[in-house]
Amino acid sequence: MPKDMKNTGSSSTSNEYQNEATENVHRLCQLFVTICGELLREVIRLRINDLRLKLDEYEKVLKHICNASQRKILYPNSEDKQTDLKDMDLSLLYILLRNICGIPAPKNGWGDKQEKSDLSIGACIDRIRVKRSVLFAHAYIGTIDTDSFEHNWDYLKKNIVEIATECNSVETYEEKVDELYDCTLNSSETKTCLEIIIKMEVIFMEDTYVPPSSVNLKSTITVPNLSAINHIAYVKPGSLWVAGVCTLKQIDLAGNLIQTVDDALCYHGCFAVTENGDLFYIGKDRHNIKRKSSVETSTIVDLPDYVSIRCICISQKKGNLLVVTRNDLKTQRHRVVRYDIKENISHVVLVDSIGDPYKAPFYITENRNGDIVVSDQGNNAVIVVNSAGQNRFIIKTRDSGFLPCGLATDDNGNILVVEGHKETYIYVFDQDGILTRRLSEKRDRWWGVCLDDKRNLYVGNRKSTIDVYRY
CA atoms of 402 and 405, how far apart (whole Å): 10
pLDDT at 191 over 90: no
The average pLDDT across 445-461 equals 92
pLDDT of residue 299: 93
Q: Tell me the β-bridge partners of 273.
A: 279
Residue 155: other Cβ atoms inside 10 A? 13
The average pLDDT across 211-228 equals 90
pLDDT at 5 over 50: no
* CA neighbor of 45 nearest in space, from 93, 2, 111: 93
More confident: 188 or 108: 108
CA atoms of 159 and 119, how far apart (whole Å): 8
More confident: 259 or 462: 259
pLDDT of residue 147: 92
Buried/exposed 422-449: b ≥16 CB within 10 Å, e otherwise: ebbbbbbbebbbbbbbbbbeeeebbbbb
pLDDT at 468 over 60: yes
Report pTM: 0.63
What's the mean pLDDT when you consider all of the chain? 85
The average pLDDT across 102-125 equals 88
pLDDT of residue 392: 76
The average pLDDT across 225-229 equals 91
Read out DSSP for 208-229? S----B--EEEEEEE-TT--S-
Q: Which of 162-171, 273-282, 421-430 is predicted with the least confidence, judged by mean pLDDT?
A: 421-430
CA atoms of 114 and 108, how far apart (whole Å): 6
At 129, which helix (H) or strand (E)? helix 121-141
pLDDT at 239 over 80: yes
pLDDT of residue 6: 35
Give the rounded percent of residues in the chain with a pLDDT score beyond 90: 50
The average pLDDT across 38-66 equals 92
Q: Where on the phi/psi map is residue 97: left (φ > 0), alpha (ψ -120 to 50), or beta?
A: alpha
pLDDT of residue 108: 85
pLDDT of residue 15: 42
pLDDT of residue 215: 86
pLDDT of residue 330: 57
The average pLDDT across 61-81 equals 78
CA atoms of 463 and 340, how far apart (whole Å): 37
Q: How far apart are the first and last CA of the chain?
A: 49
Question: 234 pLDDT band (50/70/90 cuts)?
Answer: very high
pLDDT at 77 over 90: no
Phi, psi of 123 (to 5 degrees): -65, -40
Question: 7 pLDDT band (50/70/90 cuts)?
Answer: very low
The average pLDDT across 423-443 equals 83
pLDDT of residue 423: 56
pLDDT of residue 142: 64
pLDDT tens-place string over residues 323-355: 999 987 756 778 898 898 876 666 666 665 544
pLDDT at 275 over 60: yes
Q: Tell me the β-bridge partners of 391.
A: 385
The average pLDDT across 71-75 equals 88
pLDDT of residue 353: 55
Cα torsion through 170, 171, 173, 178, rounded to 10:
140
* CA neighbor of 180 nearest in space, from 33, 368, 54: 33
pLDDT at 178 over 80: yes
Question: 374 pLDDT band (50/70/90 cuts)?
Answer: very high
pLDDT at 8 over 50: no
* Rg, the chain, Cα only: 25
CA atoms of 429 and 365, how far apart (whole Å): 14
pLDDT of residue 132: 77
CA atoms of 451 and 367, how far apart (whole Å): 13
CA atoms of 105 and 110, how far apart (whole Å): 6
Is omega for the bond preceding 104 within 30 degrees of 0, making it cis?
A: no
pLDDT of residue 272: 97
pLDDT of residue 348: 64
Question: 257 pLDDT band (50/70/90 cuts)?
Answer: very high
pLDDT tens-place string over residues 15-31: 444 578 778 888 888 89
Question: 14 pLDDT band (50/70/90 cuts)?
Answer: very low
pLDDT of residue 223: 94
